[in-house]
Amino acid sequence: MQTGYTKEELSKILPLYRDIQTKLRGRSTLDDRKMVRKAFSLAMFAHSGVKRKGGDPYIVHPLEVALIVLDQMNLDAVSVICAILHDVVEDTEYTLQDIEGMFGEQVARIIDGLTKIEDVSDTVTSTQTENFRKILLTLSTDPRVILIKLADRLHNMRTLDAMPMEKQQKISSETMYLYAPLAHRLGFYNIKGEMEDLCMQYQDPGSYSFIEQKLKDTEQQRQQFIRDFIRPIRQHMDEKNIKGDIIYRVKSIYSIWKKMSKKQIPFEEVYDLFAIRIIVDVNPEFAKSECWTVYSLVTDIYRPNTERLRDWISIPKANGYQALHITVMSNPTEHNPTGRWVEVQIRSRQMDAIAENGIAAHWMYKEGTSETDATQEGIEEWLKQVRFVLQNQQEAPSNELLSNVRLNLFSKEIYVYTPKGEFHTMPAGSTVLDFAYEIQEDFGNHCIGAKVNNKLVPVAHTLNSGDQVEIITSTKQMVHPEWKKIAKTALAQIKIAEALATQNDAKLAEGKRMLQSYFEKAEVEFDRITVRRLKDFLGIDERVDLYAEVYDGRVTEAKVRRCFSRWSYIYRLYHTLGVKVRFFLKRIRYIFSIDAFIKARMKRQPDAMLLDNDMESLHQTVAKCCNPIAGDSVIGIKKSDHEIEVHRTNCPEARQMMARMGKNIVKAKWRKDAANIDFLTGIRITGFDKKGLVSEVLTIVYQDFKMNCRSINFETTDNVFEGRIMLYVQNLDVLHELLERLKSVEGIQSVNRIDSYRS
């Protein structure tokens, strides 16, 4: 089977194969290793005589991919076989049927997925999109396909120096855009870091070389610092009989460069060049508590930055990653007299295996513990999102698909809570509207806003990690086209598109029904000819646009009659004059409106209080800090020999004055005829804006309660409004009745009395 290979070539090939078999020995059966040998023999024969650009026999590449699958992904023998054979069907005369006959249906299916990824058109505009689509399609069926593809891409990047410059730039750009984020999302942080560093070597070789040299120059100093830092932690762990390892890792060159660029700082000011990792050997049942014990131990030695605590043990990342991340300030030592911030990661041995092996841990730990259940749940949820995006956006434009995939599948995550304390993982940048659709489709379709941490916000409000969100809905709310710009997640965008399509169909059907009734009233036949005549008359091209304008009220029965009237020019003349007449009448109504009456009342002083009978001779005024009205429990404070200021008994300013001027306090009460006097008070209204809301509020105030207003102010921001009305009421009971009535208005969320003119 090895015919066609020179001794020199075999000296490169056979050690790789023996290394594969050695690494498999502890994790596979004898039959598995025999199948690996069979795959090796077939690949040797199929690729015989073929060389890579760098001059090595082609078989070296699939063997190196198999070693990545073993060393850095910890996958099984089936994955190794597929890695060795992954280019056989693509590059040789062997077929999938041949592979299935020799190795079984499972191996053939995975290799078929790998072949489909490679089989993309070579046009500039579609390659990247097609790669995305095909890679994610295979990921949603058997994730091992994409894991082998990641290993294949990593080895290609390691040997990229043999390619021409234009190929180097194309492949490194695609790797940075697609494969590195995908490796990160699947939990392969080391592979992601190596890919980014390799890409940087070709995309920015100058910066790469600069940082690489800086790391070499500071290596000895860094090693001494780490030894000094670890020593007391190790001692305390030994004293507490906590078993485990303490290791460290240096940040990737690309990560260092990214931090320098983002913060505009030199290399010397990047404090987190490395991270200390404490891996605890403990029974998985006690892993969480032991990690927190180590956290307490570390923070007893070093001062922590509490704002930098990241608890991914209590709430794992979606890919199952669990660890405690803390940043602490080191203590001065002989070698490092100045303290510096150091990141410390704490995890159990099993958490570490999950972190190192990413999604591969899905197969490593089938027997359930709470940790692995969380890992698998996160993975399955993410794969579910992948399937949803692909199934619902098969016809999506290239740019739209790419942006949705990157936002929903590769972005950072936030954790958002419901009022009951249930948390949901969302992409960073998600809005209230996204969360509404995440909870339930009906919530999304009827969402008018939310209470985020008990504060009213509009649907476009961007959520932050830790927010508690209560979605507010209204049965009258409809989905708006502008929501497509507000929604960030694929789920919300797809559901909005579906709802708009349904609404539009219903809208057009209703518009057609309304138009037919207009024709009937105008005694005109509703047919193709008459509808075309109406479209020409109105300047509308499409029938669906006509139905939409009828539904929206822009095409009325009067316009239909005008179209088919012999006197249409008279109607047009009337319409022209009517605009001017309506403007004139509007001005007249404004001049004689209630506003003019309110302005006249602004000069009134609401001095309607009387005190006890023996105080009748004093002048009483209403305190503007608390605005008391008839029915309030009040107190009088003597401001001078001839003036009493009346406060509500719960007024903060009155309490301060009572503490300072106790001898000036007088008991106050309302005069019996106070119910017949108007008192000035204020109310604050908040909620979600809708057409006609202010008019509805003022109708209740003016007509139903017969009240007059001193001032009215409504402000709206992003569909959330706040209104303030200063009005005259008879007593506290009437005010409470008004507040309850206003609370029942659709769209109003809260109505409260204003305690002060200044509030």
Query: Which pLDDT score, from 0 to 100, does residue 757 have?
Result: 44
**Cα–Cα distance measured from residue 45 to residue 314, given in angstroms and rounded to the nearest whole number:** 52
Q: What is the residue type of 573?
A: L
pLDDT band of residue 160 (cuts 50, 70, 90) is very high
- 3-class secondary-structure state, position 24: helix
Tell me which H or E stretch contains 414: strand 413-417
| Beta bridge pairs of residue 571 | none
Burial pattern 324-341, b for ≥16 Cβ within 10 A else e, equals: bbbbbebeeeeeeeeeee
Tens digits of residue pLDDT in 586-624: 555 444 433 333 333 333 333 333 344 444 455 677 787
- H/E element, 275: strand 274-280
More confident call, 284 vs 140:
284
**Taken in order 450, 454, 456, 457, is the CA torsion positive or negative?**
negative
Q: Are 624 and 651 in contact (CB under 8 A)?
A: no
Distance CA(256)–CA(279), nearest Å, equals 24
Average pLDDT in the 359-385 region? 52
pLDDT of residue 360: 61
pLDDT band at 116 (very low <50, low <70, confident <90, very high): low
Return the higher-pLDDT residue of 162 and 83: 83
Beta strands in 291-360 (DSSP E): 303-304, 310-311, 324-329, 341-348
91 as an active site residue: the answer is yes
Backbone angles phi, psi at 720, to 5 degrees: -100, 125
pLDDT higher than threshold 50 for residue 752: yes
Contact 753, 739 (CB under 8 A): yes
Cβ contact 383:409 at 8 Å: no
Start and end residues for every CATH 3.30.460.10 domain found in the chain: 213-364
Q: Which long-range contacts (CB under 8 A, 24 or more apart) does 713-718 make?
A: 716/689, 717/458, 718/458, 718/460, 718/461
Burial of 193 (0-12, 13-18, 19+ CB in 10 A): buried
Q: What is the pLDDT of residues 246-257, one digit of tens each?
A: 999 898 999 999
Beta carbons of 205 and 162 less than 8 angstroms apart: no
Look at residue 43 in the predicted model and tell me its pLDDT.
93
Q: Is 100 a catalytic residue?
A: no
Q: Tens digit of pLDDT for each residue in 20-33?
A: 999 998 888 999 99
In this predicted structure, what is the pLDDT of residue 661? 62
Say if CB 467 and CB 416 are below 8 A apart.
Answer: yes
Please determine, for residue 395, whether its predicted confidence score (pLDDT) is greater than 70.
no
Domain 7-203 is classified in which CATH homologous superfamily?
A: Hypothetical protein af1432 (1.10.3210.10)
- Predicted pLDDT at 386: 61
Return the DSSP state at 93. Answer: S
Q: What is the rounded distance in angstroms from the CA atom of residue 738 to the CA atom of residue 685?
A: 12
Cα–Cα distance for residue pair 728/678, rounded to 1 Å = 5
Q: Which residues contact 317 (CB under 8 A, 6 or more apart)?
A: 378, 413
For residue range 636-678, list pLDDT tens digits in order: 887 776 778 888 777 777 766 765 665 677 766 666 555 556 7
User: For residue 147, is pLDDT > 70?
Assistant: yes
Q: Domain 678-754: which topology?
A: Alpha-Beta Plaits (3.30.70)
* Residues 6+ positions from 348 with CB-CB distance below 8 Å: 279, 280, 281, 282, 284, 287, 290, 291, 322, 371
Pick the closest to residue 129 from 398, 393, 410, 392 (CA basis): 398
Residue 629 pLDDT: 80
- pLDDT for position 605: 34
Interatomic CA distance for residues 393 and 494, integer angstroms: 8
The residue among 195 and 386 whose pLDDT is bigger is 195
Residues of the chain with CATH 3.30.70.260: 678-754
The total number of residues written for the chain in this structure: 759
pLDDT for 572: 47
User: Is residue 63 predicted with pLDDT exceeding 60?
Assistant: yes
Question: Quick one: what percent of the chain has pLDDT higher than 90?
Answer: 30
pLDDT of residue 446: 92
Q: Kindly report, as residue ranges, where domains of CATH 1.10.3210.10 are found in the chain.
A: 7-203
Whole-prediction pTM value?
0.64
pLDDT score at 390? 58
Q: b/e string for 96-128 if b means 16 or more Cβ within 10 A?
A: eebbbeebeeebbbbbbbbbebeebeeeeeeeb
Question: What's residue 758's pLDDT?
Answer: 44
Q: State the average pLDDT over residues 525-547.
A: 86
Assign 528 a pLDDT band (cuts: 50, 70, 90).
Answer: confident
Identity of residue 456: L
pLDDT attached to residue 377: 55
Q: What span, in angstroms and rounded, lies between the C-alpha atoms of 555 and 551?
A: 8
Tokens 């070579």 belong to which residue? Answer: 122
213-364 maps to CATH 3.30.460.10? yes
* C-alpha closest to that of 501 among 535, 544, 472, 540: 544
Choose the catalytic residue: 9, 56, 91, 441.
91
Phi, psi of 593 (to 5 degrees): -80, 175
> What is the pLDDT at residue 409?
58
pLDDT value at position 355?
80
Greater model confidence, 49 or 383: 49
Rounded-to-integer distance, Cα 284 and Cα 675, Å: 73
Fill in the amino acid letter for 45: F
% of the chain exceeding 70 in pLDDT: 78
- Per-residue tokens: 467: 């927010």
Closest CA to 87 of 66, 67, 73: 66
Instruction: Output b/e per residue, 553-590; b: 16+ Cβ within 10 A.
Output: eebeeebbbbbeeeeeeebeeeeeeeeeeeeeeeeeee
* pLDDT tops 80 at residue 520: yes
> What does the pLDDT read at residue 119?
46
Q: Are strands 413-417 and 341-348 parallel, antiparallel or unpaired?
A: unpaired
622, 639 contact by CB (below 8 A): no
Name the nearest CA neighbour of 260 among 205, 210, 203, 304.
210
**50 CB contacts (<8 Å, ≥6 apart)?**
57, 58, 91
Helices (DSSP H) in 522-637: which residue ranges? 528-538, 543-551, 557-563, 568-591, 594-601
Residues 107, 96: Cα–Cα separation, whole Å: 9
What are the tens digits of pLDDT across the range 708-739? 888 888 888 878 888 999 888 888 888 888 98
Tokens found for residue 714 = 């409504």
Q: CA 170, CA 665: separation in Å to the nearest integer? A: 84
Rounded to a whole number of angstroms, the distance between the first and last alpha carbons of the chain is: 89
pLDDT at 403 over 80: no
For 84-94, what is the mean pLDDT?
A: 89
Instruction: Identify whether the C-beta of residue 644 lies closer than 8 Å to the C-beta of residue 620.
Output: yes
The Cα–Cα gap between 503 and 509 comes to: 10
